[in-house]
Amino acid sequence: MFGWVRRGFRRAYERVLDREIDDGPTHVAIIQDGNRRYARKNGDDAPDGHKAGAQTTENVLTWCEELGIEELTLYTFSTENFDRPDHEREPLFDLIEDKLYEFADADRVHESEVAVRAIGEVDMLPDRVRDAVDYAESRTADYDGFTLNIALAYGGRAELLGAARDVCRAVERGDLSPDEVDVSAVDRRLSRKPVRDVDLIIRPGGDERTSNFLPWHANGNEAAVYFCAPYWPEFSKVDFLRGIRTYESREQSWQRTRTERAVTLVRAVAEVELEDARTVAGRLREQLPSSGADEVSAELAKRTDETAD
């Protein structure tokens, strides 16, 4: 009886959270943490925890589709994971290989036009896993309905270091001038295909750290971060929706700060030269939500009236 009550309460809470969510993130990145601890808690071996976590991954793909999220990146295997013993590492490779082939052939993937991509130092992986990566990427290469990035043999520092070396080599060859080294030049060299800036990082499992995950795309975009206690196999839709709500709350706060800065800038410029203030206001309005743009316009109108008086 109590189980039925809990399930009913959870479904009701999901509906409440659903109603609270407005414009969610475009790109969510998840650190799939806690599989091994979940297995130990249940008296199982690590591979059992990873298999249970794979079902959560399936669920998250469904939730992303329901919420209109356009890109999902899953931290599946880090460069540090190579240090794990063979009896843990090899079954994990087996699971990754199987899931890549399964995704590549799944009806839902083709119906929703999901592009499956691997990011990271894929060449470090066993041949059989690389073959599965090639198969999944080639089968979904022409899709643009949704992007699923699977971070394999991934490390954020290694990613940045590799991009920096590529830039240096391009400059040395004369293919790139020093003046052309900008954000886009680095961005093009971070992965084989473009990755959107990350809006939200979610980490289950209780640890409050982002573990060298997508530093360029997340930190550079000041991504929101949501930490929660459940292990990855226990991660629920309620947990996911709470993460989305955290993003929206942070985004509203950030937009408020941007608007206040824009209004202050327009006020300061208008005190010196009204025409310059009009130019600045026009540029700022393009970068703000409609409510913020309205506040900038109101401040400019106020300064214009004061000058006329």
Query: Which residues are annotated as part of the binding site for substrate?
Result: 34-37, 50, 78-80, 82, 84, 203, 209-211
Can you read off the two tokens belonging to residue 256? 């408020």
Separation of alpha carbons 197 and 222, rounded Å = 9
- Residue 209 burial class via C-beta count within 10 angstroms: exposed 0-12, middle 13-18, buried 19 and up: exposed
Q: From the annotation, which residues make up the binding site for Mg(2+)?
A: 33, 222
The candidate with the shortest Cα–Cα distance to 200, out of 240, 238, 234, is 240
Q: Using CB atoms within 10 A of its CB, is residue 286 exposed (0-12), middle (13-18) or buried (19+)?
A: exposed
**Cα torsion for 297, 301, 302, 305, to the nearest 10°?**
180
Strands 27-31 and 200-203, by their bridges, are parallel
Of the candidates 10, 38, 3, 17, the residue with the CA atom closest to the CA atom of residue 231: 38
The conformation of residue 197, written as its DSSP 8-state character, comes to: P
Binding-site residue numbers are: 33-37, 50, 78-80, 82, 84, 203, 209-211, 222
Q: What one-character DSSP code corresponds to residue 85?
A: -
- Active-site annotation, residues: 33, 81
Provide Rg for the chain, Cα atoms: 23
Q: Tell whether the torsion through CA atoms of 233, 236, 242 and 245 is positive or negative.
A: positive
* 165-174 core/surface letters (b: 16 or more CB in 10 A; e: else): ebbeebeeee
Residue 205 DSSP code: S
Tokens (6 digits) for 32: 């799939």
CA distance 289 to 308: 29
DSSP alpha helix (H) spans, 140-229: 156-173, 183-187
